[in-house]
Amino acid sequence: MYSVVAPSRYVIYLHPSEYARLEGILPVLREQTIRGLTDEVAGLNRRSTIRRYVDRLLGRPHLPVESAAGDWQVEFLEDPDGDVAEGAFVIDSELRAPQPPELGAGSRTRRITTVHVGQQVTTREQTVTRPAPRPPLAQVMYDDDAGHHEYSIVKDSVVIGRGGAAFPVDITISASADVSREHARIRRDAATGRFYLIDLSSLGTTLNGRHVPRGYDEVNGTKRENSIETPLPDRARIGLAETVYLEFSRVEP
């Protein structure tokens, strides 16, 4: 109601060769990026006489722009996954919403991923909930190229896949490219406590040996989820492109 809140934390992923080339001046780039963000907000908060007159005439309140955290956090990192092509870069920006006052409450973060390739810019936006410690709702066990893993599900939505700079996931799978960056999602209905499996992959997801329907449609080259999901039994075997298998088990309250 009283201001426009801008993302306060920015992580810029660079191609390894460009990171090595720029490493010596990254502190300067960081300082200038912070200066640029500060100048941009100051420019947005400056209104011309005509703009002030029009806003007053239309009864529109002036909402100042401010950083979500009060200051800027900027970090440059080398892309660890090989997703960023040379000459391109990926920016993850996070809008940290205020934490609820209740003891032990989690925090919500709006993450915006911007991919720059030449003059082409694409943006992906998602809201991420960082849960406070709570009893596990379900357990997932699996083996991949990095060994054996156990993961406790403590929130209502968990993304599974190989992940990457532009594809944050909760359960990271170390495997061949047959497993998609974002391969599947496990969703819990908070009202009923039931779990559902959503296939987001290119090569398919199985549940107890049977393929589940694809949970997205391709629209003009963009994936859009179509609300198709498959109920997960209390114990299930989830296959990712018939390459990696996860053992899912619901934890009784």
Q: What pLDDT, in 10s, does the model give residues 129-176?
A: 555 567 899 999 999 988 999 999 999 999 999 887 777 889 999 899
> 167 and 116 in one domain?
no
Q: In the structure, what pLDDT confidence band is assigned to residue 48 with cuts at 50, 70 and 90? A: confident
pLDDT at 241: 95
Look at the chain and report how many structural domains it folds into.
2
14 shares its domain with 107:
yes
For the ranges 105-114, 222-231, 234-243, the maximum mean pLDDT occurs at: 234-243
Residues 81 and 43 in one domain: yes
Task: State whether 148 and 113 are in the same domain.
Answer: no
Question: Which tokens belong to 101?
Answer: 């006052």
Q: Say yes or no to pLDDT of 53 above 90.
A: no
Residue in the structure block whose two tokens are 């391969």:
183
> What was the pLDDT predicted at 164?
77
SS3 percent helix, strand, coil of the chain, rounded to 5, is: 15, 45, 40
Determine what percent of the chain is predicted with pLDDT higher than 90. 40
Q: Same structural domain for residues 37 and 125?
A: yes
At 192, the pLDDT band (50, 70, 90 cuts) reads: very high
What is the pLDDT confidence band of residue 189, given thresholds at 50, 70 and 90?
very high
> Final residue of a domain: which of 69, 103, 130?
130
Mean predicted confidence (pLDDT) in 49-73: 81
Mean pLDDT to the nearest integer, 193-220: 93
Q: Which of 196, 194, 187, 202 is nearest to 240 (CA)?
A: 202
Lowest-confidence segment of 90-94, 114-118, 233-237 by average pLDDT: 114-118
130, 161, 191 - which closes a domain: 130
Among 130, 150, 169, residue at a domain's last position: 130
What pLDDT score was predicted for residue 124?
65
> Is residue 147 located within the same domain as residue 238?
yes
The pLDDT of residue 110: 60
185 and 108 co-located in one domain: no
**What pLDDT is recorded for position 204?**
95
Q: Read off the DSSP letter of residue 141.
A: E
- Residues 180, 95, single domain; the answer is no
Answer yes or no: are the C-beta atoms of 248 and 236 closer than 8 Å. yes
* 109 shares a domain with 86: yes
Percent share of the chain, pLDDT over 70: 86
Look up the CATH number of the domain holding residue 184: 2.60.200.20
Which residues have CB under 8 Å from 146's CB, separation 6+? 174
In this structure, the answer to whether residues 64 and 146 fall within a common structural domain is: no
User: Are residues 84 and 151 both part of a single domain?
Assistant: no
Q: How are beta strands 73-78 and 4-6 bridged, if at all?
A: unpaired
Provide the domain limits for residue 60.
Answer: 4-130
* 24 and 122 fall within a common domain: yes
